[in-house]
Amino acid sequence: MSRPIKGLMIKDLRLVFSQMKLFFVIMAVWGIFMAVNIEQFYFVPAYTAVFCTFISLSTYSYDEFENGTAYLFTLPIRRRDYVRAKYLLGILFMMVPTIVITFAACVAGMVTKGEAAVWEYFAATVTSIGIALVLLAVENPLYIRFGQEKSRIFKLVSFGIIGGGLGAIGSLVGESADGMSVISSILGLDLWMLMLLMAAVSAVLVCVSYCISCAMIEKKQY
């Protein structure tokens, strides 16, 4: 990792942690509480992954404050470094809390003798990270192209799509003892192959999104 990218990530991490310490504590406590008290265990990693993705995207608003982005580009920083730092920050913010919170929820479920198996928590985590990666791939180019204010309508649309998708998953899991197996049988793939396919598709989307974001930011005037 180059020094400019590392510096940009440290800047964003300091901003987020200085502004949102309480949010992370609430998220952790609430996630564990929900894991113990509701049957839809998959909600915990999905909530964490999506919530943390939007936290990483909120750093665009800090950069735009008082033409901060224009000032950043007066420093020895390439525009592609800026984009790469945003994507790395989003992946870091989304994956680490999701894994930690899901592990804590899994332990809490085992202590309280929950019905969900360990592999089901793992499958839910992989699925949630895949959804969050797709969200990251869609939102980053929009924030770069339109800015924080104009991207609000797209954010609302994203919330609607994610909510509908999670509702469909919840309905499937509720109607079947093993919702992932149902999806797997429909597509004619083994469960683990299905998860690998989801990961591969999400990774490809992020790479395509990164290239689009780089092209956009090179042409944008600040």
Is pLDDT at 217 greater than 50 in this prediction? Answer: yes
Across 96-100, 150-154, 199-203, 205-209, which has the greatest mean pLDDT? 205-209
Taking every pair of Cα atoms in the chain, the longest distance, rounded to a whole number of angstroms, is: 57
Q: Model confidence at 209, in pLDDT bands (50, 70, 90)?
A: very high
CA–CA distance, 124 with 9 (Å, rounded to integer): 28
Q: Model confidence at 32, in pLDDT bands (50, 70, 90)?
A: low
**pLDDT given for residue 16 in this prediction:** 81
Is pLDDT at 71 greater than 60 in this prediction? Answer: yes
**pLDDT given for residue 182 in this prediction:** 47
pTM: 0.78
Give the three-state DSSP class for 112: coil
Percent above pLDDT 90 for the chain: 12
**pLDDT given for residue 151 in this prediction:** 56
Long-range contacts of 194-198 (CB under 8 A, 24+ apart): 195/123, 195/126, 195/127, 198/126, 198/127, 198/130
Q: What is the pLDDT of residues 134-173, one digit of tens each?
A: 889 988 988 888 776 665 666 666 656 655 555 555 554 4
CA–CA distance, 95 with 41 (Å, rounded to integer): 18
Cα of 126 vs its chain's centroid, Å: 11
Is pLDDT at 35 greater than 60 in this prediction? Answer: no
